[in-house]
Amino acid sequence: MVRPAWGRGLVVALTLALAATPRSALARADEPEAPSTSQLVAPQLLTPIAAPYPPGAEGDAVVMLAVSVNAAGAVEDVRVLEGFEPFASVAVESVRGARFVPASRDGKAIAATVRFRVDFTKPPPAPAPPPEPDPTPDPDPEVPADAPAEGAPPPAPRPPPDVVVRGGRAAVGAGVAESLARAEVRQLPGAFGDPFRAIEAMPGMTPVLTGLPYFYVRGAPPGNVGYFFEGVRVPYLFHFGLGPAVIHPALIAKTELHRGGYPAALGRYAGGIVDSQAMPPADRLHGEGQLRLIDAGALIETPFADGKGSALAAARYSYTAALFSLLSSDTTLDYRDYQARVSYALSDRDTLSVLGFGAYDFAAQRQTIDPNQRPIFVDPGASREPRDVTRVLFASEFHRADVRWDRTLARGGRLRAAATLGFDRTRVESHRAATDTMTGARVELTQPLAPSVLLRTGADLVVDRYTADSLPTFSDDDDVVVRQRNIFVERVDFATGARVDTVLTMIPNTEIVPGVRFDVYGSGPARAVAVDPRLTTRFFVSDRLRIIHAYGLASQAPSTPVTLPGITIARLRGGLQRAVQTSAAVEMDLPSDFTATGAVFHNAFYALNDALGTAQVELIDIERSDALLAKSRGSAYGLELGVRRKLSQRVAGLASYTLSRSMRTVDGRAVISAYDRPHVFTAALSFDLGRAWRAGTRFVTYSGIPMSPAAPAFPEQLVGVPPARTPAFVRLDLRIEKRWKVGKTGWISGVLEALNATLSREVTGYSCQTALALPGAAAGQPRCFERVIGPVSVPSLGVEGGF
């Protein structure tokens, strides 16, 4: 690495992805193709290369190049695969004069095309001028201080690094989002290495119940939070209850939480959006495995076709059903998931890939039924002996298959066309099942139009065919069946639309991203149209300080309190839900690699389906279809603070605090949301103890939920008065890990982890007594008793490894 003498330009590391069978060798050779047993060696970089940071640019960036090296080791051609101006042009010019040891097959030099990654990091402020030189003469000015002693062999040349990854704090046009890399997630106590579970540590997340993966995001209920993996919509991120994520952690590169003001590419949800990207295809054989007390999982990936292709498979299986059986438990809990991916480079510009994944959950309880106690609906000829039956509490599954074609365009542009198939199914009470068969197609284009103008646009169509098992009717006017038909109804729904936004950087130290979405919704005969404008601005006040403003309108079809596969509200009853999202945030880089954030937000909700927030249903209750159809208006506003040092460092941590208020207006009456928690605080610390030991702890506390007394049924009735709120909840999570190195690239570790190690119990409400006030009789005030759940605690002891 060489630093230019002109000061401000920070040199960036340019690295070559090297492997014995590199994926980056892109099927270009002057010789006839050798047999599959031939040995292929990638080009070796001879001269160090430095690319200066472009004058006037802002932020960090990554540029991926395709570099054609001839048999003499000279660069013949350089093309941009990924990256934007002005970084792309600087990267190309910096590589043109590079020299290589040429690629070889069976010891003979050949021409090859390889991929380079160039990382740009914004330079720090200019250093202070150096002190005056010491007038004392150097005892030997001709010999550097670190030169080898006389007669000693010269030091071996330092090989170029295989990969250098430098992650910017925010990609160009990223909007307002919080993200966690996988290395950080692994060290977060109580997350069990799952990126999806780690998002609860971010500001703006208000839990419904400790440990459960359901959150209010800036006042928006859980059913208004969207989940995407690689651009594909998924119904939920976790297995039932306190289970792990439905995607293997080793497959997830980054998880972003968009709390509002997100890019135009994300939409059709009126709350937050969780968007995860997969690890790119690897150019070498690698794998990971995990064995815990309750489940086991593994992932393996290998390249093929001389590195042009890659195949991956991953799965997780829970043996909790067998454990419960050994313990003679009446409860059955089972879950499993799978992921598979195959990608193949058709050319140096075109890649075809197939991604498939799915998950299954089952929870049931064995009960004894005595027909003698329920004689009304018993067949007269049936046995009158008691018998055991299995009551299904929850059973669901979903599957996705996504086929995509990616093409690299000129100047770093990218075109993607994809088709998706999906199948969702949820079984609920009375042996009924709701099913959704989904088909979809989308096209996405990202193209720089000028050094300071980046266009991002796309269009998509999603068609959902819903079928369901109906309730049996006991009479012609059974009102329960009539209400259920509002949800369990066979129909075809669709959503189609187009979106566009533009990243503008022509104003110095400023990034402006205007955008808009056009969506059309259909459910049976009903139709609705939404036009959602978005605007994000980012001001680079200094090298360490950034100010971000985000404004947007978000629309969503009617939804249930939490997302369940195959279940949604039919015929757009009550119209689209809409949210007006506004926020202003500050990001600051602090000494010792700390980053601090602060934000204020205000969201306004219209025609909202929030049966939880209006205290009309429990968490998962689809029997109350009348309550699910109820609409309300609302608002949420608050302050979010965060400070963070990467959890992968020797001593690291994070802290987040959210101060908020969430309101609902029902039938013209304004009330505090049933899950309004004014204070939510999380703090985590991770310590490298040495000798490959690492320990961490996380402290979580949040306010209780509001309570209100029930109205007397008649004037003489006395009803107990509960406290204004349930007590605050506090828990402590713990994690300790010991790692051993195995060979050159392998590792194995033992992990002991616990969510809610303090065995804290959470108060979810109050049950209040009633009394009758008789004339002339003394009556005491009825009492209220806490309804307590838990302790909800998840201990985990396991072994992890990889190579």
Can you give the pLDDT at residue 216?
A: 95
Instruction: From residue 710, give the alpha-carbon distance in Å to each of 693, 716, 719, 762.
Output: 54, 14, 7, 22
For 594-627, what is each residue's pLDDT tens digit? 899 999 999 999 999 998 888 755 554 545 556 7
Centre a 10 Å sphere on the Cβ of residue 377 and count the other Cβ atoms it contains.
7
Instruction: From residue 2, give the alpha-carbon distance in Å to each of 5, 9, 57, 98, 121.
Output: 9, 11, 20, 14, 14
Instruction: From residue 459, give the alpha-carbon distance in Å to each of 143, 176, 463.
Output: 65, 23, 14
Cα three-residue angle 175-177-181, rounded to 5 degrees: 130
d(CA 110, CA 103): 6
Is the bond leading into 791 cis (omega within 30 degrees of zero)?
yes
Partners of 535 in the beta sheet? 514, 551
Burial group, residue 251, by CB count within 10 angstroms (0-12, 13-18, 19+): buried
Which residue matches tokens 């976790």? 238
DSSP assignments along 303-360, one per residue? EETTTTEEEEEEEEEE-HHHHHHHTT-SEEEEEEEEEEEEEEESSSSEEEEEEEEEEE
Phi, psi of 64 (to 5 degrees): -105, 130
Can you give the pLDDT at residue 383?
A: 61
Burial group, residue 617, by CB count within 10 angstroms (0-12, 13-18, 19+): buried
Could you tell me which residues come within 8 angstroms of residue 349 by beta carbon, excluding any fewer than 6 positions away? 81, 407, 408
Residue 31 binned pLDDT confidence (cut-offs 50, 70, 90): very low
Quickly list H helices, 157-231.
182-186, 195-198
DSSP-derived 3-state class of residue 31: coil
Among 241-245, 281-285, 431-435, top mean pLDDT goes to 281-285
Could you tell me which residues come within 8 angstroms of residue 128 by beta carbon, excluding any fewer than 6 positions away? none
Can you give the pLDDT at residue 501?
A: 96
Quickly list H helices, 365-441.
none
- Per-residue burial over 499-517, b if 16 or more Cβ lie within 10 Å, else e, is bbbbbbbeeeeebbbebbb
Residue 485 binned pLDDT confidence (cut-offs 50, 70, 90): low
Torsion, Cα 657 263 531 523, to 10 degrees, reads -80
**Tokens representing residue 404 in the block:** 């995509």
Is the bond leading into 86 cis (omega within 30 degrees of zero)?
yes
Can you give the pLDDT at residue 626?
A: 63
Centre a 10 Å sphere on the Cβ of residue 433 and count the other Cβ atoms it contains.
17
Going 58 to 253 to 797 to 362, the CA torsion angle's sign is positive
How far is Cα of residue 764 from the mean position of the Cα atoms in its chain? 28
Torsion, Cα 306 309 310 311, to 10 degrees, reads -110
Length of the chain: 803
Question: Looking at per-residue confidence, does 24 or 756 come out higher?
Answer: 756
Tell me what the mean pLDDT of segment 772-801 comes to: 83
251 in Cβ contact with 230 (< 8 Å): no
Could you tell me which residues come within 8 angstroms of residue 730 by beta carbon, excluding any fewer than 6 positions away? 699, 700, 701, 758, 760
Can you give the pLDDT at residue 502?
A: 95
For 214-237, what is each residue's pLDDT tens digit? 899 999 999 999 999 999 999 988
Residue 355 has pLDDT above 90, yes or no: yes
739 in Cβ contact with 695 (< 8 Å): no
Instruction: From residue 796, give the alpha-carbon distance in Å to each of 5, 537, 748.
Output: 54, 43, 17
Partners of 350 in the beta sheet? 407
Nearest to 285 by CA among 517, 49, 21: 21
DSSP-derived 3-state class of residue 664: strand
For 64-113, what is each residue's pLDDT tens digit? 787 888 777 778 777 777 666 677 778 887 887 787 888 887 778 887 88
Residue 148 binned pLDDT confidence (cut-offs 50, 70, 90): very low
Instruction: From residue 422, give the alpha-carbon distance in Å to each of 131, 146, 335, 463.
Output: 66, 62, 19, 10
Can you give the pLDDT at residue 598?
A: 96
Can you give the pLDDT at residue 655?
A: 95
Nearest to 119 by CA among 152, 147, 94: 94
Centre a 10 Å sphere on the Cβ of residue 172 and count the other Cβ atoms it contains.
20
Burial group, residue 774, by CB count within 10 angstroms (0-12, 13-18, 19+): exposed
d(CA 413, CA 2): 29
**Tokens representing residue 475 in the block:** 């009479």
Partners of 339 in the beta sheet? 314, 357
Residue 282 binned pLDDT confidence (cut-offs 50, 70, 90): confident
Q: Which pTM was predicted?
A: 0.77
